[in-house]
Structures are given as structure tokens and as C-alpha cells.
Amino acid sequence: AGSRMPFPLPPFHRGLRTTGPKHNPIFIRIGAVIAGRIARSWVKEQLKGVPRQRRRLYVIGLVAVFTGASGLVGGIYYWVNLVPCPITGRLRFLSTSRSAELEMAKEVSEQQAKTFATKGIKALPSDDPKARRVRRICAKLIKGVH
């Protein structure tokens, strides 16, 4: 009786995946293991002969310094990447430059063109009624933004 869901799930819940599984290359795993062992041996060496209560304080201090440094670096990265919005003038966070976005868009466009060519998908001709309707809608949207 306790295993029932309080609400029904949609029919697609079993096959829904937003991202694929993360597969780290073996050299990244090995590097993480080595870095962890080096860090652990360094801490053990630094704490050799230190009483247990002092050791605990030392580790708490290290965690606090690491957390503070991470927060500071993250805050600086965020502050450096604040860009004013051209329409509203408010600041927004953008981690990629305009040129990088255009380059990515170009690559995606080329990849889609290759995919369409291999699958035999063709675009509508420019005089097709559907294409004209889309063009009119886009023109209204662009006019509304400016």
C-alpha cells in the first residue's frame, strides 16, 4: 500500500532521459585517484604528531579556506562575465562571447545541413505558402522586438 504514487505518472516516464550517462575517460579517473592520494599523504605528513583535537581544527580550517577561495574565484568569474542587456540595460551573466556563440551556431547549422542531406530531407521552396507564412510571422516578431 505504501509503494503507490500519489499521482499518476505520464506514459513516457520510463523512456525519458534528458542527458546521456557520463563516461569519464580512464585517464581522468586515474588522475583523480592519484591527486586524491597525493593530497591525503600531504595532509597526513602535515598533521604528523599533532593531537587529535588540533587535527580536527586544522582540517576544518582547510575546508573553510578552500570553500572561501572557491567562492571568491566563482564570484570574480561571475562579476567579470556580467554584460549589459542591449534592450533593458540590466546586467546579465553570459559565459560565452558573441563571436563564440556565432561560431557554435555556424557549426550546428552545418551539422544539421549534413544530417538533412544524408536523410534526404529537403527544405520548402521560398514561394511555398507555409514558408511565406513563417516569414510573415517572423517579420512581425522582429518588428515587435524593435
Q: What is the DSSP string of 63-107?
A: HHHHHHHHHHHHHHHHHHTEEE-TTT--EEE-SS-HHHHHHHHHH
Which amino acid belongs to residue 126? S
What's the confidence (pLDDT) of residue 95?
A: 87
pTM over 0.85: no
What's the confidence (pLDDT) of residue 3?
A: 52
If you search the block for the grid coordinates 567579470, which residue do you land on? 80
- Ranking 16-25, 47-56, 82-91, 115-124 by mean pLDDT, the lowest is 16-25
Instruction: Quickly state the pLDDT bin for 125 (edges 50, 70, 90).
Output: confident
Average pLDDT, stretch 117-131?
Answer: 86
Instruction: Quickly state the pLDDT bin for 8 (edges 50, 70, 90).
Output: low
Q: Is the pLDDT of residue 72 over 70?
A: yes
Higher pLDDT, 90 or 10: 90
Q: Is the pLDDT of residue 105 over 80?
A: yes
Q: What does pLDDT average to over the chain?
A: 83
Write out pLDDT tens, residues 24-42: 678 888 999 999 999 889 8
Radius of gyration of the chain from Cα atoms?
Answer: 27
Q: Is the pLDDT of residue 20 over 80?
A: no
